[in-house]
Structure 1
Amino acid sequence: MTAAAVDHADDTEVIVAERRRTGWHRYALAAILVLGTVLYAAVLWSGNWGNTYYTAAVKSMSLNFTNFIFGSFDPAGVVTVDKPPLALWPQVISVWIFGYHDWSILLPQVIEGVAAIFLLHRTVRLWAGENAALIAALIFALTPITVVTNRTNNTDAMLVLMLVAAAYAFTRAMKAVEPKTRTKWLWFAAFLIGCGFLAKMLAAWIVVPAFIAAYLAGSKAKWTRQVFDVIGAAVVLLASSLWWVAVVDLWPGQKPYIGGSTDGTALDLVLGYNGLGRVFGGEGPGGRGGGGEVVFGGGGPGGAGGANLAFGGESGPGRMFGEAVGGQISWLLPLALIALVVAAVLGFRRFRRFAPADTARRAGWVLWGGWLIVNALVFSLQEGIFHPYYTTVMAPAIGALVGAGTVWAVKMYRDPQGLSWLVLPASVAVAAAWAWVLISRDTAWNGWLRWAVLGVAVVAILFLVLRKAKRAAIVLGLVAVLLAPGVWSGVGAFASTGNAGIPTAGPAANNAGGFMVRLPPGVTTPPPGMMPPQVAGGPGGPGGPGGRPTGTLTADQQKIVDYAKANSGGAEYLMAVEGGAQAASAYIMATDENIVSMGGFSGRDPAPTAEQLAAWVKEGKLKFVLVGNGRGGGGRAGAGGGTGGNGMLGQPSATSTWVQENCESVLTVGSQQLYECTNG
């Protein structure tokens, strides 16, 4: 055999060995993606319509371009949802393709969730290698709050996807050799964060400080180039974030009222209800805040405590580890913080030794560490509306940090330097101990799980400390760490009974349904999906004709619609529905009629005005107004049983007064009254 033939044979063996070494990575990634798909897609066959506030809006937006671009909640285009419409656009497109079904509305979020897993893997692989990427993707896929959030049509799945995509683009920028290539990827990252803004406004900007710090930590360019890159990225970020705000506020023609704002402008929504109001408390959607309680009906399971869980518990440094949030996101949060501290210490030591630094790797630690810390601080100290499912945005950072930290810990374990090998068994012990604490908070809900975690962890730690069967011990350690969040995720995917508007995993999913809701300071109206299943009716009594919308009308609701259709005389709008979005959503979802939602989500938005109602009646566009569809009829907060009120607090509004003075009750069904308004 010639020397050339020998060299060729050696090269072939190397290629085959490399393929074998990397082949399992592809299979592992495919398995993780399938796992995520199964967990997220289980909801498609459950008959769950998601957050009906957005579900109704999707139908309205599918009707015409104006409703689509503004994000109109009602078919009449009177008031919008209280978010930009980007996250709803894929749902509308899905409806255009497949028709209006529960599964077609939820399908885009499944795709977004799986895409985020894939992009996180690709991002971490660029930064910390294949093994770290697989661990990060698996952790992300098995984060309980992420699983239950991606099963709804809330805006968070799109937000997380855009931010993870931005992290991928940023990592490509840090890996780029050519300055132009680096700038291109950096600006693309800024564009993607701007897209996240159009899903959930300022929630997307929380990570911006982390991106800036990571760029400064990882860039080797001259300071003039850095200034150019950062200023350009800022311009791209502002343009991609605010173009919709500019279009809405500068729109020359007739347009819907911007739900949740105080003056009908998108800018007010950004700065107020979805901005500083979230951090410091203050104004609820469409109305001045005064704090206090809103009583929706009779006491139910969970009581005020359940509502407190839905609102994330008390603000403060311990909120991320508290009863409301801990089981949703914090399973591996201690490990992420440990990894971050170890990386900081090692980085400082390298700096003191003047050792050359891998700037791209350093940028990754700063990015993911900053992402986690800034979000955790904002959520912990937030005085306004806060729900545990907001923390799903922290899951990619936790996955990335734990993935990279685990790879380092395994390396130190296999090639020990001093006592560094103890980091791996100590990390398993910390994760197992924290899982024990979280599960023990409610042992009535799968309490056996803590013993399973303890058993696996003890065996793993024993083998790790004795340095026996190292590979098996490492695998057992990973199982011990992921067992509890994995079970919570599985139950959340296949057996969750929680509120789709406020998704929660574990026992919190069953405890967040209390009807006595103590709202955060300055918040007078619950956000989308907060309302419990009952609608109108006396305290503790049976629900009225409303009920939680499910895509079909009840017999009482159908009676109202039939009467209005038979007597509308061809009016443009079948009826205007008072009592907030939860009252109107059933009629929007289950009929093809032109419905007007009075007051938007909360019933407190000043749209339509009394003058608009009068004009519509005079022009023959509107004949019927349905009132009494608010919650808590007969109680201190309800609009039910009468002519309604100003949103959930029952304060008389100008439209309510106008209906009382100018319209006549022609049909009473339960606590609902249909009023006929005639010109003259």
Structure 2
Amino acid sequence: MTVAAPSAAPAETAAPATRSRWRTWALAAICAAAAVLYAWRIGDGQVGNSYYSAAVKSMTGSFSNFLFGSFDPYGVFTVDKPPMSLWPQAISVLIFGFHGWALLLPQVLEGVAAVFLLHRAVRLWAGENAALLAALILTLTPITVAINRDNNPDTLLVLLLVAAAYAFTRSVQADPSRARTRWLLWCAFFIGCGFVTKMMQAWIILPGFALAYFAGTSAPVKRRLLDLLGAAAVLLVSSFWWTALHDLWPGSKPYMGGSTDGTALNLIFGYNGFGRIFGGEGNFGPGGGGHRPGGGLPGGMELPAGTAPPSGGPGGMFGGETGLGRMFGGAVGGQISWLLPLALLVLVAVAVRGVRRKRPGGPAQRAGWFAWGSWLLVTGVVFSYAQGIWHPYYTTMLAPAIAAICAAGLAGFWREYRQDSGYGWLLLPAGVALTAGWAFVLANRDPSWHGWTRWAVLAVGAVAVAALVLGKLASVRRAIFTRASLVLAAVALLLVPAVWSAATAATGESMGGMPSAGPAGLGFPGGSGGGARMPGGRDAGLPGAPDASGFPGGPGGMRAGARKPGDMGDFLNGKLTDDQRRILDYAKQHSGGAAITLAVDGSATMASSFIIGSDETVIGMGGFLGSDDSPSVGQLQQWTAEGKLKFVLGSTGGRGGRGMPGMSGGAGEKRQGWIKQHCAAVDPAAYGGKPASAEQEAQAGPMGGAQTLYQCHA
């Protein structure tokens, strides 16, 4: 049997002169649907990732804080990423004030812009109909809906990479050499901006794009090489300008969060670069990091009794075990893999066509297949084998490639289906059956979450496949079955992910640092996706109200997947507890006008509630999880001697943060020693609090139990 692969439509079919009016309205409707999904109830009390939200508020306080992405208003240390994704949020807050919807509005706009730009890129490559389908697929990808309702950097990263793909497509299809070069340089610039957004993750698509350009243009070889060299120069400048600015800045600047020496270059090639792929000693930031040698769990995180540690480093705690099955596993599959089998089928069909018959399309069409295919395959392999901390929401980067490949492939399958010869028509019903079957498997993993969809997609998929086969074999009935079967096929492909996306948006809730679609807990260890439990090993019940640490029931009571106000909701949304408010008020009243009202030891997450919930100058100590050497003991001594710092909210008993990687005998432990030596505990009765119980002290988790207020002296 000769397998006929889909071939992309010529670029001429997408010319504006031939477009019908309904396609314009269809694109507008898709963008409007995206806006509704991404924006629905975003101002309903949530602030997204409180770590980044606190930084955004601090960034509005001074130009230096804005430029470098300072976490705290005093400019002690930055977040552990370049600040490009936070700049639009800070500008929005400056215009509208600090509210949840002001923080998340830029994310909504960026998400809709990515949908529109993907349509434009696929339209140039595969035609108008495929472009509309690609835009719809991206809109309805569950993890894309979840991440665009949050303020992690992935939303802007996806937009910039889609912009790069659009520029690349313009480049390989341009006739004049000058236009071809200009668009390639724009492609490199957008990827460089992606680097300033999330560093080396943006570079994953580079090899495929470079090879696709070299093989997909008709320019002489010498000209292609010169173009690529020019693009490399633009890429390096656009990628490293902010790094150079930070590291060479002559005046005072915040310490680079997550680094070991305070430089952005160290962060790029350390835990936020190769540490993500290969693991190794490093910090645990909100979006990734390294792990301790030996593959142990960070900071004493506990596994349920009888459960083996996740393989492949700590990334397995959040994203499942490493290997090719990770993208389809319990933690990740429901986020992104709905159309992944179909995308792989399309790529195999294209490859078979190239080997057995002929290469699909002209050079520009082949370049498109290579660019989108390499984006999907290389990124998928890197994510599947990443050894460091890796979160399922990173897979939103796969969504544009899956959307483009599936849309172009289905358009090709449809053309093959309508031909009168060969067996290529079988690809369309096979793709529908494969996708509907996989959707049933994903929906069946947790039937409590819209479980009716598994039977609905099975029924619709079976009818669609039967209609496609009958429409092809029963020529008398072909006119009856063809259009109806196509509609049923589209429903079978998108029904379940559309329900997951709509349900995620309808809740109007934010999962803070770990956004996820679907059943509660998929973004957390111990949730539906499996993996290690959070500190304390608890996954049921939340005893007590949040204490001064900000965790429900104390630092050991953080429950994976909690979404109700009063348990993790207040913590994720950066709200101060009553104890925290009393502590802050006491520090303010007795600070004597000190420049720093309160320093919070333990983790930046503990300090974020104080920054978000007040206008006082509150700083964190030690970066995201307390292991950075900022502020140093020398800085603390100087601030205290100069009267700039008088109160520290520190940990009492338990591990108190000492279990975090890099802290044993390091900067965090030295700060704790300085606190014990130069600070005296304030009687909780002085501010209306209660002493920590023995149980709370014993449960002090790996993020630190910031429960005791200390007054410091020189």
The two structures have a TM-score, normalised by structure 2, of: 0.84
Partner of 1:673: 708
- Tell me whether 1:506 sits opposite 2:518 in the alignment: yes
Partner of 1:433: 437
Partner of 1:373: 377
Aligned partner letter, 2:231: A
Counterpart among 470, 475, 480 of residue 492 in structure 2: 480
Query: Matched residue of 1:273: which SS?
Result: coil
- TM alignment of 1:1-20, pairs within 5 A: none
Label 1:250 to 1:511 Cα distance change in 2 as closer, same or farther (>3 A). Answer: closer
Q: In 2, distance between residues paired with 1:299 and 1:535?
A: 20
Q: In 2, distance between residues paired with 1:448 and 1:590?
A: 41
Q: Is the 8 A contact 1:308 1:517 kept in 2?
A: no
Query: Matched residue of 1:45: which SS?
Result: coil
Counterpart among 347, 359, 362 of residue 340 in structure 1: 347
Q: CA deviation at 1:495?
A: 2.3
- Tell me whether 1:443 sits opposite 2:451 in the alignment: no
- TM alignment of 1:523-562, pairs within 5 A: 534=551, 537=554, 539-540=556-557, 548=571, 550-562=573-585
Q: CA deviation at 1:413?
A: 1.2
- Tell me whether 1:244 sits opposite 2:242 in the alignment: yes
- TM alignment of 1:167-206, pairs within 5 A: 167-206=165-204
Q: CA deviation at 1:310?
A: 6.1
Partner of 2:701: none
Q: In 2, distance between residues paired with 1:168 and 1:484?
A: 29
Label 1:497 to 1:510 Cα distance change in 2 as closer, same or farther (>3 A). Answer: farther
Q: Is the 8 A contact 1:84 1:200 kept in 2?
A: yes
Q: Per-residue CA shift, 1:220-241, capped at 9, x if unaligned?
A: 1111101110000000001000
Counterpart among 323, 334, 339 of residue 327 in structure 1: 334
- TM alignment of 1:42-53, pairs within 5 A: 42-53=40-51
Q: In 1, distance between residues paired with 2:587 and 2:661?
A: 23
Aligned partner letter, 2:420: P
Partner of 1:658: 674
Q: Is the 8 A contact 1:497 1:509 kept in 2?
A: no
Label 1:206 to 1:308 Cα distance change in 2 as closer, same or farther (>3 A). Answer: closer
Aligned partner letter, 1:417: S
Label 1:608 to 1:295 Cα distance change in 2 as closer, same or farther (>3 A). Answer: closer
Q: Per-residue CA shift, 1:24-65, capped at 9, x if unaligned?
A: 111111111111111100142321110000000001111111
Moved more, 155-164 or 551-560: 551-560
Alignment RMSD: 3.0
Q: CA deviation at 1:416?
A: 3.3
Q: CA deviation at 1:517?
A: 7.6
Q: In 2, distance between residues paired with 1:182 and 1:310?
A: 45
Query: Matched residue of 2:599: which SS?
Result: strand
Label 1:133 to 1:324 Cα distance change in 2 as closer, same or farther (>3 A). Answer: same
Aligned partner letter, 1:289: R
Q: In 2, distance between residues paired with 1:203 and 1:369?
A: 17
Moved more, 412-421 or 109-118: 412-421
Counterpart among 114, 117, 131 of residue 116 in structure 1: 114
Partner of 1:638: 656
Q: In 2, distance between residues paired with 1:409 and 1:132?
A: 11
Q: CA deviation at 1:513?
A: 5.8
Partner of 2:155: 157
Q: In 1, distance between residues paired with 2:97 and 2:485?
A: 50
Q: CA deviation at 1:552?
A: 3.9
Aligned partner letter, 2:394: Y
Moved more, 95-104 or 276-285: 276-285
Label 1:315 to 1:583 Cα distance change in 2 as closer, same or farther (>3 A). Answer: same
Label 1:510 to 1:340 Cα distance change in 2 as closer, same or farther (>3 A). Answer: closer
- Tell me whether 1:421 sits opposite 2:425 in the alignment: yes
Q: CA deviation at 1:285?
A: 1.9
Query: Matched residue of 1:469: which SS?
Result: helix
Structure 1 portions without partners, runs of 5+: 1-17, 521-531
- Tell me whether 1:563 sits opposite 2:586 in the alignment: yes
Aligned partner letter, 2:680: E
Q: In 1, distance between residues paired with 2:151 and 2:558?
A: 30
Structure 2 portions without partners, runs of 5+: 1-15, 285-289, 472-479, 535-548, 560-565, 693-706
What is the aligned-residue identity percentage? 54
Q: Is the 8 A contact 1:574 1:624 kept in 2?
A: yes
The two structures have a TM-score, normalised by structure 1, of: 0.88
Q: In 2, distance between residues paired with 1:198 and 1:308?
A: 23
Q: CA deviation at 1:611?
A: 1.0
Q: CA deviation at 1:462?
A: 1.3
Label 1:667 to 1:58 Cα distance change in 2 as closer, same or farther (>3 A). Answer: farther
Moved more, 133-142 or 336-345: 336-345
Query: Matched residue of 1:664: which SS?
Result: strand
Aligned length: 639
Q: In 2, distance between residues paired with 1:551 and 1:480?
A: 40
Q: Is the 8 A contact 1:617 1:623 kept in 2?
A: yes
